[in-house]
Amino acid sequence: MTYLAGDIGGTNTRLALFEEEGGRLVEKRRTQQRTPDFAGLAPALREFLRGEGGLLAGGFGVAGPVRNGRARGTNIPWVVDAAEIRTALGVPAVVVNDLAANGWGIGELPAASFAVVNEGEEDPAGAGALIAAGTGLGEAILVRRERGGPFEPLPSEGGHTSFGPRDDEEIALWKDLSLRYGHVSYERILSGPGLANLYRFARQRSGVPEPEWLREEIAEAGDPAPAVSAAALSGRDPVCERTLYRFVALYGSEAANLALKALATGGVFVGGGIAPKILPVLLDGGFFSAFCDKGRFGPLLSRIPIRVILDDSCALRGAARCAVRAAREEASR
């Protein structure tokens, strides 16, 4: 018997089938499609499940707020509704925020699925925090029901809180983005589009023309973020390097903001699609330095464990775990 899991983001929709073996989830099959290529979730499910039987339940993480099992994603062109999925599939279905899915997935991953930014001193009774930059910026607080127990996620839309500049250059950045967007959230700078915003600002401030080779790579990718990151990591362009280091410092600062609000002495987890791609820069000290730069609370923050999630199946595994819970709740009624 299998469980269907979905990780639905603004760029990609990933679907997978899992089976539970000895209490652990084992992935059996997976597909990934571009979200804009489908008119809704139903046609994507039909294509993936064609000829599949023995389904027990489905769980779906969606990049956006969820209310009463219904989500209209922030960067997703359609609605995901648990009741509609249940009707279509004939099995229990649950829809959760994508960061909630990631939060449930953390407990499904082995130690090798994490890179250590700061070893820290884990408080087994403490809460945790999850921050994830990708197409958007997701944040969640992780709570425990008992000392040493697994984390349970409380989703939020903290990525849309107001950006707080830390120096004169970031004040200038805020002014620039305010003219473009009005409200300047952390998502405007800590996401794929946010990295593009930082690069545009840095290029203008530098007075250095964009190299032709970089212009061509950006045009070929259709998105500045991957080209800028690659140029920064390879050391080919100083403006790209400054952009990426600014991005990482801002990422560390906002991770600390979340850690303070959650009092995340149990650990901070960095998820999303961007972190593994820029891991060398995340680990070189800039993230942690900015994380600890909170005045009197620097010493407390310096003791918090920080891990980068390297396994891209985390959200799918969390969604599958939600499906397992839904099936058990249905059976107990």
pLDDT, tens only, 135-151: 899 999 999 999 988 89
**Residue 25 above 90 pLDDT?**
yes
Sign of the CA dihedral with 42 first, then 47, 51, and 56 last: negative
**136-150 burial, b for 16+ CB within 10 Å, e for fewer?**
bbbbbbbbbeeeeee
- Give the tens place of pLDDT for each residue, 154-181: 988 999 999 999 999 999 999 999 999 9
With 0-12 CB in 10 A as exposed, 13-18 as middle and 19+ as buried, what is 171? exposed
105 band by pLDDT with thresholds 50, 70 and 90: very high
- Structural contact between residues 306 and 288, judged by C-beta atoms closer than 8 angstroms: yes
The number of folded domains in the chain is 2
pLDDT at residue 78, rounded to an integer: 86
pLDDT at residue 158, rounded to an integer: 94
- Structural contact between residues 165 and 173, judged by C-beta atoms closer than 8 angstroms: yes
- Distances in Å between the alpha carbon of 326 and those of 15, 28, 105, 238, 262? 17, 20, 15, 51, 27
pLDDT at residue 124, rounded to an integer: 95
pLDDT at residue 155, rounded to an integer: 85
13, 100: one domain: yes
59, 124: one domain: no
pLDDT at residue 147, rounded to an integer: 93
Q: Tell me, what CATH number does 131's domain have?
A: 3.40.367.20
Domain range for 128 is 111-309
30, 176: one domain: no
pLDDT at residue 112, rounded to an integer: 96
Q: How far apart are CA 271 and CA 133, in angstroms?
A: 7
Backbone angles phi, psi at 28, to 5 degrees: -110, -35
304, 203: one domain: yes
231, 326: one domain: no
**Residue 10 above 90 pLDDT?**
no
Q: How far apart are CA 51 and CA 29, in angstroms?
A: 13
pLDDT at residue 65, rounded to an integer: 86
Q: How far apart are CA 129 and CA 232, in angstroms?
A: 28
323, 217: one domain: no
- Give the tens place of pLDDT for each residue, 185-208: 999 999 999 999 999 999 999 999
- Distances in Å between the alpha carbon of 281 and those of 239, 284, 285? 15, 5, 8
66, 166: one domain: no
What amino acid occupies position 258?
L
141, 52: one domain: no
Q: How far apart are CA 19 and CA 129, in angstroms?
A: 28
Token pair for residue 145?
């029901």
**Residue ranges in the chain assigned as alpha helix (H):** 41-49, 82-89, 98-106, 168-181, 192-206, 212-221, 224-234, 238-262, 279-282, 286-292, 298-302, 314-332
**Residue 38 above 90 pLDDT?**
no
Strand partners, 279: none
Q: Tell me, what CATH number does 76's domain have?
A: 3.30.420.40
- Give the tens place of pLDDT for each residue, 243-302: 999 999 999 999 999 999 999 999 999 999 999 999 999 999 999 999 999 999 999 999
17, 153: one domain: no
235, 151: one domain: yes
- Give the tens place of pLDDT for each residue, 50-99: 888 889 999 999 988 899 999 887 677 788 999 999 999 999 999 999 99
Q: What is the mean pLDDT of residues 116-132?
A: 97
25, 52: one domain: yes
318, 286: one domain: no
**Residue 182 above 80 pLDDT?**
yes
